[in-house]
Amino acid sequence: MRRRVVFALLLLILGGAGGAQEWEFIDDLSAMGGLNQMVADPVHGRLLLGGGRGYRIYHPESSIWMDRLWPEGIHRPVYCFLPNAADSLALLTGRVDGFWYGYIVDNQGLTVWGPITYLDGGGSGTGIVTGLGRLPGSQKTLFACTTLSDGGGAIWRSLDGGLSWSIVHPLIFDTSSNSGWDLAVSADGHIVAAYGTGFGGANGVLRSTDGGETWEEITGDMPRVAYFTAVAVDPLDSQHLYVQQWDWDVAAHPAFGIYETEDGGQHWEQILQGNYGDMSMHPYDTDILVALRDQAIMLTTDGGDTWEDITGDLPGVWTGNQCVVCPSDSRVYFGRSSVGLWAREIFPTAVAAPPSAALHVSAYPNPFNPSTRITFGLPAAGPVSLSILDVQGRVVRHLLEGGLRAAGSQTVAWDGRDTLGRSLPSGLYFARLEAGGQRAVGKLLLLQ
């Protein structure tokens, strides 16, 4: 399992152990007609929920909801979302009423119901569009995966921003059609798709490193016995992935669980065993994952070395529910249409230290584009140094260089540029604060 370098031991995980955490009820979800998908949008700090009658958007910072639900009797479910940094183009997918015809919608930042593009299955149904991804550096090159239908599941590509689509890889193995269940794109352009037909069928994980032209199986030494329905890619290392393998028709099997690879799929390690039907990774802290099965929600904050059962007295947890890690408020969310949306802190609340005991540093928005505000607290007046470092530990920008600052809370802006004024590439950075012989480090994620 992945071990962090000393540099990445952030303030977020330096708190002491606390008591058991309680789940907070957020809102009723019964009007959604079922809950198909729940996604944390790290760029805009919101939670996206897709249901049988449309979708809802929740902003944790303000507790404000935005609803886009169809009237009663209209069944047009939403299965996945693809927002972007500027939010001028946001896509969602689903299927039309009772038919297995997949559609993709450009709905202009998830604010209005926009034009619908139907995937052309040659006169047959294309299945549900279950995964969406965008090639880095290109707003026009998109990828999607679809489930089994009359024409079979497939991986699709659009070169015009979603106006038209073509199949780049049919999911057909040994003459049998298959279903695509999830799709992710890494920061360096690797496209990864999870597929499967269930217990005893053809199941696995595919990757393309050339924009979808060719595909390879990357399950390596991992047993392949059931559906692969979730994949998460490290935003900084495309060789580091997590996948989920489970089955809704078979209660248990030793191969079911959450797997991790650090070498691009040659070797895999099972880091959690069980029939887990949903998995979510923190969008930019790959040590934090949550997984869900019947009567249990499991959380790890150390990359799978240890897992904590955080279910508590949460009602009605079963394998078909949704769970997600939301970075904007550092909470785990659980959703089920019949019991509502619930939230719980990722990290136990430690006993508060006196304000003079230590430095602290944070940033908002985070992730950010193009700028963020770095907030820090000083226990006493004195000289302060605030620097931005990359993942190799190199200083790329000095924001404060030893000047005197007053005690208390203060804010400094960073525009995502280095010392020479050049825009830095997307990725993980660190804000290092030094004052009074102490040091605090905060994590920053820049998305260009």
Q: Indicate the pairing of strand 129-134 with strand 116-118.
A: unpaired
Residue 332 has a pLDDT of: 95
C-alpha torsion 197→201→204→210, nearest 10 = -80
Using one digit for the tens of pLDDT, what is the confidence trace for 274-323?
999 999 998 877 889 999 988 899 999 889 999 999 999 888 888 778 99
Using one digit for the tens of pLDDT, what is the confidence trace for 341-399?
999 998 765 433 344 446 778 888 888 888 888 888 888 888 888 999 987 778 899 88
Is residue 215's pLDDT more than 90?
yes
Query: Confidence band (pLDDT; 50, 70, 90) for 91?
Result: low
Comparing CA positions, the residue from 357, 352, 410 lying closest to residue 379 is 357
**Cα separations (Å) of 292 from 179, 275, 289, 306?**
22, 8, 10, 15
From CA 209, how far away is CA 218, in angstroms rounded? 12
Is residue 88's pLDDT more than 90?
no
Using one digit for the tens of pLDDT, what is the confidence trace for 112-152?
555 666 666 544 456 788 898 988 877 789 999 988 765 57
Is residue 329's pLDDT more than 50?
yes
Is residue 244's pLDDT more than 90?
yes
Domain boundaries, the chain: 6-345, 360-446
Which of the given ranges, 91-105, 247-261, 281-295, 348-362, has the highest pLDDT on average? Answer: 247-261
Vertex 406: Cα angle to 402 and 409 (nearest 5): 105
Estimate to the nearest angstrom the gap between the alpha carbon of 239 and the chain centroid. 17
pLDDT, greater one: 97 or 199: 199
- To the question of domain 360-446 being in CATH 2.40.50.140, the answer is no
Residues of the chain above pLDDT 70, percent: 81
Average pLDDT (412-430) is 86
Residue 128 has a pLDDT of: 81
Residue 125 has a pLDDT of: 54
Using one digit for the tens of pLDDT, what is the confidence trace for 158-199?
898 877 888 999 987 765 668 889 999 987 899 999 999 888
pLDDT, greater one: 11 or 409: 409
Residue 323 has a pLDDT of: 94
Is residue 226's pLDDT more than 80?
yes
From CA 304, how far away is CA 23, in angstroms rounded? 22
Query: Confidence band (pLDDT; 50, 70, 90) for 155?
Result: very high
Query: Confidence band (pLDDT; 50, 70, 90) for 15?
Result: very low
pLDDT, greater one: 392 or 251: 251
Residue 116 has a pLDDT of: 64
Average of per-residue pLDDT values in the chain: 81
311, 317 in Cβ contact below 8 A?
yes
Spatial neighbors of 178 by CB under 8 A, at least 6 apart, are 148, 152, 153, 171, 172, 195, 196, 197, 201, 202
Q: Indicate the pairing of strand 154-158 with strand 142-146.
A: antiparallel
Task: For residue 13, give the 3-state DSSP assignment.
Answer: helix
Comparing CA positions, the residue from 288, 352, 388, 397 lying closest to residue 16 is 352
From CA 216, how far away is CA 311, in angstroms rounded? 38
Comparing CA positions, the residue from 202, 148, 158 lying closest to residue 180 is 148
Superfamily of domain 6-345, CATH level 4 = YVTN repeat-like/Quinoprotein amine dehydrogenase (2.130.10.10)
From CA 359, how far away is CA 434, in angstroms rounded? 8
